[in-house]
Homo-oligomer: A and B are copies of this chain.
């Protein structure tokens, strides 16, 4: 995946991000083709930007797996993360991702067929 480092805080902690416009369709589709990652996106869509910390997501996976999923979502341009002291805060990159992949995030957030 094409990634770049973003912001001083993120660089300090080694977080890499990708801008949605630099993300391939393959990486965008792979990112959303996972039920845990879709659960993260839906939880983030329901709260204001930069209010939800990584530890507060209700996910049936280990901490290491959770970190992997967040990394995939950053690399796909779907979320942005920044550290505030000991907490890692999250933002859904809804508008930017919509510009790059129209309709895809909306489908993930609203599909009644996600079973």
Contact = CB atoms under 8 A, between A and B. Distances in A.
Contact of A32 (B29, B102, B113): B29
A107 B114 contact: no
A56 interface: no
B107 A106 contact: no
Interface residues of A, number: 23
Contacts of A30: 33
SS class of chain A's interface: helix, strand, loop or mixed?
helix
A35 B53 CA distance: 34
B101 A23 contact: no
Interface string A16-27: 000000011110
Interface string A30-41: 101101001000
Contact of A107 (B102, B111, B115): B102
Contacts of A33: 26, 29-30, 33
A84 B35 CA distance: 39
